[in-house]
A and B are shown apart, each in its own frame.
Chain A
Amino acid sequence: MLFKLSVNNIRKSLRDYAIYFFTLIIGVSVFYVFNAIHGQTAMMRIDSDTRELVELLRTTLSGVSVFVAGVLGLLIVYASRFLMKRRNKEFALYMMLGMSKGKISALLLTETVIIGLGSLGVGLLIGIGLSQLMSALVANLFEADMTEYKFMVSGDSIVLTVINFAVMYLVVVIFNSIVISRFKLIDLLQSGRKSEQTKLKNPVLCVIVFILSAVMLGYAYYQAGWKLADNFEEGRLAVYIAMGAVSTFLIFWSVSGMLLKIIMSMKKIYFKELNSFTFRQISSKVNTMVFSMTVICLMLFVTICALSGSFSIRNSLNQNLKKLCPADVDFVENTVAPCGTDIDVLEDFKLCDVDIDSYLSEYVVIRTYMDENFTFYDFAESASSQVTDYMQEMISVSDYNHLMELYGKESVTLNDNEYILLCNFQTAKEIQNKSLAKHKTITIWGNTLSPKYDSCLDGFIEISENPVNYGIFIVPDSVIDENAVVSEKLIGNYAAETKQEKSALETEFRKQYDEKIRPNLHLLSYMKSNRGYCRLDTKLDIANAAIGLGAISTFLGLYLGLVFLIACGAILALKELSESVDSIPRYEMIRKIGVDENDISKSLFQQTGIFFLLPLILACIHSVFGMKFASIFLEMFGTEKTAESIAATSIIILLIYGGYFLITYYCSKGIIKEKR
């Protein structure tokens, strides 16, 4: 009997449950898809380095999953609470018929179980389907071989998903029971009768609050986006974030009152067709959910930043690899400061019995120098005290040109009294460009040189995954003091063509390095200075790290972004739908006085649209400044293809948030149409 009642209840309120069910299904499938990534890579042929990265990805994703489960749990509790409220009359009827509270709880439990099982089943099916698509993305990111790929289901992920959602449903059941135990019959019966008092907030107060919060927000933006960039402190960032959140709340508190006041004063617009009705509806909706709007706006903000940040990291990493790694091998011996020690890389290889020619088809050896009397502070006067001082590194123009020949890049020419500053790290560039613009002369080893260009030359000498060259001075060979050498670098290409051959050679070379050079570090020439280091970088290593970082950031961004979007969409949709149910009599009334169905649809579309757009607009504004702040930190990854990242982010938001909007609009239309 109870079961039959539950099933009928669900069927009857399918309209209310549609969004709830939809949200649960997306939640379950997203949860499954991201936890199944690990299992999918097992099928792919990827090398052991990447395997380690996949392992790292797995741990990161499962850590984030705990957080995601928390967010989804809160969302489900919110949604179920919402649905409970809608059914107060029904519960009142049960209680009047003499049903005990225990029975009602049991009824709700049955309903939750049915919905839970249904959503888990459907969600997992969709998740399994989607995860096959996801493997294509995984393979693409890890550059894996997909030829042996088969349709697969991850048992681990299913178990994890089921356990997580079972816990969430359990929380919902407990929560519902608590709510039911507090029911009072009289409140339930009268719940629909309490007429909503739509008090218009004092418009003058609204305008004042709006202006104040806008000013506060502007201040927080300015401080976080510009001031904090020069002088970073974690504590202050927290203060600005808090200010941003508070002003967001105040803006939502005041915006509807203020806009309403403005529109009301424009009589031409306000008294046109259904506009007065539409704007009043919107303002009452916004007024009743200031807090939810704030949370939604902030979540959208995080989503936009997470998505576009992760995409731009990935895009830049791929770009950087092409641009910043034009050679296969970079071996460096470095003494940190000039100490009169002669460094000879090739001699050291011979000493360790490594035949460099059998691995590398071509290579160049270059040296860099430092002058103790020529530091960063000496050159960049405008540098803030945040940067610690260091000696500037120099390279002879002939070494530089040899290297560029290897890299296949343009060489430079230099007069005897000139220098060029080579730099590609944005912040360092900006600081040092100021000095170059003033035509700053430098004095090294007693020679005075003036700049050839009035800004930095964009470039680097060592291969790396990111543009992190703080500045190297290219100086004429004639001024170099050989005693001031600090490092010698061997940069070259493997004697191989294909990726596989290179990879095989690399394994060999690594082995030589690990077995012959590393145990004999004390024999190497740089060690005579008693300080410094030697290092081997390879393009393959850098590429693997880049792929891993790119993949992890992409997945994290997508995962968090999707979950947050679902949460935002669902909250707005539920609220809007219940508003529509409450507004049925209003629509009936305006229909009776002869309003066209088209005009009603238009009004509903405007209401839903503005309701969804408001938090999105503010979140976008937040994001512009948030990204400006983040760009300072993202800079070391490079900032290429920002437009592409923004486009990708917009598409994802448009699909999910827009999807929720459309579903809400059509469901609301159905709701207000029904009772004809």
Chain B
Amino acid sequence: MELLKIQQIEKYYGNKSSLTKAIDDISFSVENGEFVAIMGASGSGKTTLLNCISTIDRVTAGHIYLENTDITTLKGKQLNQFRREKLGFIFQDFNLLDTLTAFENIALALSIQKKNPHDIEKAVQIVAEQLGITQVLMKYPYQMSGGQKQRVASARAIITNPKLVLADEPTGALDSKSAKMLLERFDYLNTQMQTTIMMVTHDSFTASYATRVIFIKDGRIFNEISKGHDTRKQFFDKIMNVVTLLGGDVSDAL
């Protein structure tokens, strides 16, 4: 079933004298239960694309449909409601509230939906179990490692049972061990919990955990490959091939 449908979207920055096309006519769709990675070099427009989907930014032209709702037309309160009920966010710099404990950070996502406090506690325990952070629930962000923080942020993102989880460079600030651990959790959420995940990254290893990778260059879709029945290692090699092709002399695509 088609969950997300992106139709010829464009995003321009700047003014008449210097116009930047961050996104230049991109169309694709995401099926329910997919784990999509979007890859591209710095400045390729991948974060802008994510921001437009997450309604943090607005498109200049085109439409984005989530479950047949055109989210480019949402405004004000509807927008906030859409964001807190349909989407889950994971950011590169975790974006946890430093004044709250892990438990409270996760609970906040539910309490702003005005959920019953009693149910909140149970729900937090369940996601904490899934992400392996039960021991750190009573700690403050400054007492946790980067990997723990990111898993707390992930817990906050999925606790509301969102239609789509959006992750912006989730492994960007993590060491390789924590990154691997986080990605395995993502894999678990995707395969076991049927969570639809859309992740932006410029790291091939991170992308190799996805089921499909979309490559973007200069605001346009450059290539697209699916994992199919490959192993993760084989998929990684495929990605690397495209990256080499894509990068040429742009080495930071690695």
Partner-B contacts on A (CB < 8 A): 195-198, 267-268, 270-277, 280-281, 284, 585-586, 589-590, 592-597, 599
CB neighbours of A595 from chain B (8 A): 80, 84, 112
Asked if B144 CB lies within 8 Å of chain A CBs, one says no
Stretch from B21-29, B40-48, B59-67, B115-123 contacting the other chain: B115-123
Interface residues on B, range: 20 to 34
Contact of A586 among B91, B99, B111, B140 (CB under 8 A): B99
A274, closest chain B residue (CB): B112
B117 touches A272 (CB 8 A): yes
A277-B81 CB under 8 A given contacts A271-B117, A272-B117, A593-B112: no
A268 touches B112 (CB 8 A): no
A585→B96 CA distance, assembly (Å) = 10
Asked if B83 CB lies within 8 Å of chain A CBs, one says yes
A200, closest chain B residue (CB): B140
A267 touches B117 (CB 8 A): yes
A195-B81 CB under 8 A given contacts A271-B117, A590-B108, A592-B56: no
Interchain residue pairs with CB less than 8 A apart (12) = A195-B98, A271-B110, A276-B107, A276-B111, A280-B99, A284-B99, A594-B81, A594-B87, A595-B80, A596-B77, A597-B76, A597-B80
- Report the minimal beta-carbon distance from B80 to chain A, rounded to whole angstroms: 5
CB neighbours of B84 from chain A (8 A): 593-595
A289→B212 CA distance, assembly (Å) = 52
A197 touches B108 (CB 8 A): no
- Report the minimal beta-carbon distance from A580 to chain B, rounded to whole angstroms: 14
A280→B81 CA distance, assembly (Å) = 24
A196-B117 CB under 8 A given contacts A274-B112, A592-B89, A596-B77: no
A46→B96 CA distance, assembly (Å) = 69
A585→B99 CA distance, assembly (Å) = 12
A593→B118 CA distance, assembly (Å) = 21
Asked if B85 CB lies within 8 Å of chain A CBs, one says yes
A275, closest chain B residue (CB): B111
Number of A-B contacts (CB under 8 A): 85
Using A198-B142, A586-B97, A594-B85 as known contacts, list a sample of 18 further A-B pairs with CB atoms less than 8 Å apart, ordered by residue number in A. Answer: A267-B118, A270-B117, A272-B117, A276-B108, A276-B111, A277-B99, A277-B108, A280-B97, A284-B99, A592-B56, A592-B83, A592-B89, A594-B80, A594-B82, A594-B83, A594-B87, A595-B84, A595-B112
A669→B245 CA distance, assembly (Å) = 49
- Report the minimal beta-carbon distance from A144 to chain B, rounded to whole angstroms: 58
Contact of A277 among B85, B97, B118, B120 (CB under 8 A): B97
A592→B56 CA distance, assembly (Å) = 7
A273 touches B99 (CB 8 A): no
A590→B95 CA distance, assembly (Å) = 9
Asked if B104 CB lies within 8 Å of chain A CBs, one says yes
- Report the minimal beta-carbon distance from A536 to chain B, rounded to whole angstroms: 72
- Chain A CB count within 10 A is highest, among B96, B104, B120, for B104
A273→B114 CA distance, assembly (Å) = 6
CB neighbours of A277 from chain B (8 A): 97, 99-100, 108
Asked if B109 CB lies within 8 Å of chain A CBs, one says yes
A596→B112 CA distance, assembly (Å) = 9
Contact of B111 among A196, A274, A592 (CB under 8 A): A274
A593 touches B89 (CB 8 A): yes
A interface majority secondary structure:
helix
CB neighbours of A198 from chain B (8 A): 98-99, 140, 142
A255→B134 CA distance, assembly (Å) = 30
A594→B91 CA distance, assembly (Å) = 14
Asked if B11 CB lies within 8 Å of chain A CBs, one says no
A590→B111 CA distance, assembly (Å) = 12
A586, closest chain B residue (CB): B97
- Report the minimal beta-carbon distance from B79 to chain A, rounded to whole angstroms: 8
A410→B98 CA distance, assembly (Å) = 75
CB neighbours of A597 from chain B (8 A): 76, 80
- Report the minimal beta-carbon distance from B89 to chain A, rounded to whole angstroms: 6
A405→B104 CA distance, assembly (Å) = 79
CB neighbours of B80 from chain A (8 A): 594-597
Asked if B156 CB lies within 8 Å of chain A CBs, one says yes
- Report the minimal beta-carbon distance from B235 to chain A, rounded to whole angstroms: 31
A196→B104 CA distance, assembly (Å) = 18
A599 touches B112 (CB 8 A): yes
A197 touches B142 (CB 8 A): yes
B110, closest chain A residue (CB): A271
A271 touches B100 (CB 8 A): no
CB neighbours of B117 from chain A (8 A): 267-268, 270-272
A573→B82 CA distance, assembly (Å) = 35
A271→B116 CA distance, assembly (Å) = 8
A425→B56 CA distance, assembly (Å) = 73
- Report the minimal beta-carbon distance from A196 to chain B, rounded to whole angstroms: 7
A590→B99 CA distance, assembly (Å) = 13
- Report the minimal beta-carbon distance from B99 to chain A, rounded to whole angstroms: 4
- Report the minimal beta-carbon distance from B128 to chain A, rounded to whole angstroms: 15
A195→B77 CA distance, assembly (Å) = 33
- Report the minimal beta-carbon distance from A672 to chain B, rounded to whole angstroms: 14
A280-B104 CB under 8 A given contacts A593-B156, A596-B77: yes
CB neighbours of B156 from chain A (8 A): 593
B117, closest chain A residue (CB): A271
Complex interface residues of chain B between 7 and 50 (CB less than 8 A to chain A): none
CB neighbours of B97 from chain A (8 A): 277, 280, 586, 589-590
A654→B103 CA distance, assembly (Å) = 39
A276 touches B83 (CB 8 A): no
- Report the minimal beta-carbon distance from B4 to chain A, rounded to whole angstroms: 17
- Report the minimal beta-carbon distance from B155 to chain A, rounded to whole angstroms: 13
CB neighbours of A585 from chain B (8 A): 95
Which 4 A-B residue pairings sit nearest by Cβ, starting from the closest? A594-B84, A594-B83, A271-B117, A280-B99
- Chain B CB count within 10 A is highest, among A197, A272, A599, for A272
Contact bitstring B220-250, A, C-beta under 8 A = 1, else 0: 0000000000000000000000000000000
B99 touches A592 (CB 8 A): no
A475→B91 CA distance, assembly (Å) = 93
A373→B83 CA distance, assembly (Å) = 93
A596→B84 CA distance, assembly (Å) = 9
- Report the minimal beta-carbon distance from A170 to chain B, rounded to whole angstroms: 40
- Chain B CB count within 10 A is highest, among A197, A270, A277, A284, for A277
B82, closest chain A residue (CB): A594
- Report the minimal beta-carbon distance from B150 to chain A, rounded to whole angstroms: 14
CB neighbours of B98 from chain A (8 A): 195-196, 198, 586
A197→B142 CA distance, assembly (Å) = 7
A271 touches B107 (CB 8 A): yes
A281 touches B99 (CB 8 A): yes
